[in-house]
Amino acid sequence: MSVEFIRPEAKDKRAQWKLVQDAVSGSDAVKTSDYIIQVNPTDLSPENTTRNDQRRRRAVYTNATGRTLSAMIGIAFGKSPEVKCPSGLDFLKSDVDGSGVGIINQSQSTVSNVLQTGRSGLLVDYPKSDGEMVAIDAERMGVRPTISLYDANSIMNWRTEKMGARNMLTLVVLRESYEEWSDFEVSSKTQYRVLRMDGGVYVQEVWQESNSGGWVVVEKRRPVIKGSKPWSEIPFTFIGATNNDVLPDQPPLYDLATLNIAHLNNSADHEESLFFAGQAMYWVSGADADWAEEMQKSGVYVGSRSILPVPSGGQAGLLQAQAVSGLSEEMQHKVDLMGMLGAKLIAPGEANRTATEAAANDKSSNSILSIVCDNVSDAYRTALGWVAQFAGVAATPENLDFTIGTEFSGVQFDAQQMGQALAAVQSGKLPESDFWTYCRAIGLIAADKSDDDIRDELETQGGGVELDPIEPGVDPAQAE
């Protein structure tokens, strides 16, 4: 088995991941893929190829998926997460992975990844060094623990084994990229980082492709807890949309992205219909061969400054086709549904806690967004505990914490109203500032958070997607 092997559970989800990520990326991503259904796909003639190309270019993509993701990130991080780090680990707040990205900014990307693919992972590592360093030398040389984020497509393979009462990770294979320079030119190469348990000890390997084409180990080491104690577990945690087990979860934004692509195909049909119906056709009655020959010689000019000669007793006119109104109605129907789906990702729903609590009729309101935030928070608390072990720092619940607030999960609001608001934002008919005001009014965003604060945080984490304007939807309840 090659190091490139992909677990079937991950391979089966890749098409869903790509669809959602393309839908979030915007018009260029969806139009350069095969999402727009072709007319007569078996007809490879130049004429049909040109027609399909024109359909693709005329289609209008309304990025409701990207805007909904941006809104969800804004709601989740409307109030900054609570971050507690033991003494000596404060650097994580400003540089968690060695690239200058702080832990809050990285967690925004993590929530974004999980909402798109239902999957992410965090690896805690310590740079390779020669011997043990004193703290001041380690800080000066940048030798300190890091938390690296891996998206769903980078997690290739994994294995677990039952050890006592726990299912322990014994293998994780992660795909990475690295740069290879030649003078002033650079090329991107692929490598695989293999995390495995070997005789009860954690071992890390880096595999790269050799000049002969095979994959070889170019680095192998046994990371240790500060001092010389080897690790008895792999410091890697999965993050999911449902829970943080090893299996990929359903991407939360998949249904919305699928509807978004269906709306794109309606647009392709609608725009082609408008183009066809908008091209008026001139007609002349009573024409004979002599008239036709004369017109071919002299040319036919139409317009307010031209006189169109017609045959004796003949008439001339314009033939105007009617656009298909049903397409417009169906596009509006999908806009309403997209707004409703976006609202349901945020709106609280009823979820049983434990069997004992259920017996006592004690229920908790949970939205998909709040569950994702809780899962991300749990993963970062686990990762921070591993960082403390690497650094040899004592960690307790009092000095170590990472919690993304989910107060919005307990807010009671009308999902239909939220659907209408999201549909209006997605269509460009409601300013984001008014949406944030609405969210503050119902308690989804902290009252002391200004619009500029929210926009700054969204820009920092790469949110915000431009939309093509469309009319806002009607009551989503009527679209069900």
Q: Is the pLDDT of residue 351 over 90?
A: no
Q: Read off the pLDDT band of 324 (50, 70, 90).
A: low
How confident is the model over 27-42, as a mean pLDDT? 93
Domain co-membership, 162 together with 300: no
* Residue 473 maps to a domain: no
Q: Read off the pLDDT band of 444 (50, 70, 90).
A: confident
How confident is the model over 154-175, as a mean pLDDT? 93
Q: Is the pLDDT of residue 321 over 70?
A: no
Q: Is the pLDDT of residue 437 over 70?
A: yes
Q: Read off the pLDDT band of 480 (50, 70, 90).
A: very low
Q: What is the pLDDT of residue 477?
A: 43
Task: Give residue-wise pLDDT tens across range 417-432.
Answer: 777 887 888 787 888 8
What are the E-state strand segments in 47-184?
Answer: 82-84, 119-125, 146-151, 155-163, 166-182
Structural domain harbouring 309:
281-319
Q: What does pTM read for this prediction?
A: 0.76
Q: What is the pLDDT of residue 427?
A: 80
Q: What is the pLDDT of residue 325?
A: 66
How confident is the model over 349-368, as a mean pLDDT? 44
Q: What is the pLDDT of residue 141?
A: 53
Q: What is the pLDDT of residue 142?
A: 59
Count how many domains the chain has: 2
* Residue 90 maps to a domain: yes
* Residue 265 maps to a domain: no
Q: What is the pLDDT of residue 461?
A: 63
Domain co-membership, 373 together with 314: no
Domain co-membership, 411 together with 286: no
Percent of the chain residues past pLDDT 90, beyond the cut: 48
* Residue 472 maps to a domain: no
* Residue 238 maps to a domain: yes
User: Residue 163 pairs with which residues in a beta bridge?
Assistant: 166
Cβ contacts of residue 25 below 8 Å, gap of 6+? 66
Cα dihedral sign for 291, 295, 300, 306? negative
Domain co-membership, 397 together with 305: no
Q: Which of 115-129, 252-266, 447-461 has the lowest mean pLDDT?
A: 447-461
Domain co-membership, 179 together with 212: yes
Domain co-membership, 237 together with 291: no
Domain co-membership, 141 together with 183: yes
Element (H, E) at 29: helix 27-31
Domain co-membership, 177 together with 315: no
Element (H, E) at 230: strand 229-230
Q: Which two tokens stand for residue 349?
A: 């729903």
Q: What is the pLDDT of residue 415?
A: 67
Domain co-membership, 166 together with 32: yes
Q: Is the pLDDT of residue 362 over 70?
A: no
296/276: higher pLDDT: 296
Q: Is the pLDDT of residue 140 over 60?
A: no
How confident is the model over 150-157, as a mean pLDDT? 97
Q: What is the pLDDT of residue 366?
A: 65
How confident is the model over 106-134, as a mean pLDDT? 84
Task: Give residue-wise pLDDT tens across range 53-89.
Answer: 999 999 999 999 999 999 899 989 988 999 999 888 9
* Residue 332 maps to a domain: no
Q: Read off the pLDDT band of 445 (50, 70, 90).
A: confident
Task: Give residue-wise pLDDT tens across range 236-256.
Answer: 999 999 999 999 999 999 999
Contact (Cβ atoms closer than 8 angstroms) between residue 134 and residue 374: no
Q: What is the pLDDT of residue 235?
A: 96
Q: Read off the pLDDT band of 129 (50, 70, 90).
A: low
* d(C-alpha 274, C-alpha 325), whole Å: 10
How confident is the model over 121-135, as a mean pLDDT? 69
163/77: higher pLDDT: 77
* d(C-alpha 402, C-alpha 408), whole Å: 17
Phi first, then psi, for residue 311 (nearest 5°) are -60, 160
Q: Read off the pLDDT band of 275 (50, 70, 90).
A: confident
Q: Read off the pLDDT band of 43 (50, 70, 90).
A: very high
- Of 167, 84, 91, 13, the residue nearest 377 (C-alpha): 84
Q: Is the pLDDT of residue 203 over 90?
A: yes
Domain co-membership, 440 together with 291: no
Q: Read off the pLDDT band of 350 (50, 70, 90).
A: very low
Q: Is the pLDDT of residue 413 over 80?
A: no
How confident is the model over 94-108, as a mean pLDDT? 95
Domain co-membership, 296 together with 428: no
Q: Which of 25-29, 295-299, 318-322, 336-340 has the lowest mean pLDDT?
A: 318-322
The mean of the pLDDT values for the chain is: 83
Q: What is the pLDDT of residue 128?
A: 67
Q: Read off the pLDDT band of 212 (50, 70, 90).
A: confident
* Residue 274 maps to a domain: no
Domain co-membership, 292 together with 252: no
Q: What is the pLDDT of residue 229?
A: 86
* Residue 469 maps to a domain: no
Q: Which two tokens stand for residue 262?
A: 């269906």
